[in-house]
Amino acid sequence: MNYFWISINQKEQDRFLLKCYKQNIVIYESVTSSKRCLFKIAAADYPKVSKMYFAKVRVEDATGTPKIKKFLKKYFFFIISSLLGLFLFFFLTHIIVKVEVIHSNKDIRDLLTTALAEKGIKKNTWKKSFSELEQIKKEILNQYPDRLEWLEIETQGMNYYVRVEERKLKEEEQKMERCHLVATKDGILKKLIYSKGEALLKTNDYVKKGDIIVTGILKKDEETKEVLCASGKAYAEVWYKATIKVPKKRMESKETGKIRWNILLKNNSYNDFLFRSRLENYQTETKSLFKIFNTEVFFAKQKEVVNTIIEKNEAELLDEATTKMQEKIKLTLQEDEEILNQKILSQNETDDYLEVQFFVAVLEQIGKQQEFTLDSDLDTHSPNLSE
């Protein structure tokens, strides 16, 4: 049942109650103050009460359907604008307005743009789910196995950014008629694997840059029998000095549990939050919502943190320096190359940093094919090593 709360002047209270009694109007609750009285009646009885002209009757509150109607009438424009805002937000976060293929080759960009459009990846279309994008990626890669090596479709707001790597077919190595396998660095030869030519050095021999490890001139009894292009790999222990600087202090951040929400606006000339944060120190996680013209809008989650400065001990500093040194060296190594050993040469310390110098021994492939020329008697050569 639906109810109304009505209010009348206290002086008319008795007369009102008498009228209600005569007209079988049930009063469910009442609240009396110094000037007015509140009565709870059924919504169906309100027309009867509204005809009691001797009392100024007004609806003070309502329950059930009348209350809902009253609320909708009062907040009609707010509700409509909120619904329109939600619809606009949904629309802007589920439609694609731009598809950009990122690659330096125009032919690849055009090829991929056409292939994506055929799969429904184009502007002014609804966003596709993650599984749909994964399926489209597989189909396109299978469609162009000789042209495309790798493909990624990244969704950022209302945009698709497509990154692609072109498949480059291996070109046939230029065949040289005559060449040596020559050392590109100084070191100690540790392993030699070759299929053509004659080895002039053996394992544990010291080799200098430019030395011939495997020759392409085959001799027998001091007479040249054949001239070919030596091929193989020569692995040697080579040496480096690496200097690493590490800070003596580190900052440790701990979350307090306080979270604030914000909006981040970002374009070429502006990168700031829409609202001022009430947190002094915080870490931010963002999620792209949409992009309007040159401004991208992000939903930001700011998590309050407490920062503490911690002093590292000597063992931590040396471990960190060693790790950084190994990472730095490994960036230059191939798959079959490795660090053999390392040793600390020196340490220099300041108030803020520890500087460590390492001696590092590395197993590297130092062999390189180098074409040579022969003189008239076929016994001398000039390798002319170039790096």
Q: With b meaning 16 or more CB within 10 Å and e meaning fewer, what string describes 33-54?
A: eeebbebbbebebbeebeebee
pLDDT exceeds cutoff 80 at 291: no
Token reading at 301? 């989650």
pLDDT exceeds cutoff 90 at 74: no
Top pLDDT among 62 and 376 is at 62
Top pLDDT among 236 and 70 is at 236
Q: What is the mean pLDDT of residues 33-59?
A: 75
95-166 is classed CATH 3.10.20? yes
Q: What is the mean pLDDT of residues 233-242?
A: 94
**CATH 3.30.70.120 segments of the chain:** 3-74
pLDDT value of position 44: 83
Contacts of 37 (CB under 8 A, 6+ apart): 7, 8, 9, 10, 13, 16, 30, 31
Distances (CA, A) of 263 to 17, 279, 297: 58, 15, 7
3-74 is classed CATH 2.30.40.10? no
Q: How far apart are CA 159 and CA 157, in angstroms?
A: 6
Per DSSP, the residues of 136-196 read HHHHHHHH-TTTEEEEEEEEETTEEEEEEEE--PPPPPPPPSSEEEEESS-EEEEEEEEEE
pLDDT value of position 171: 45
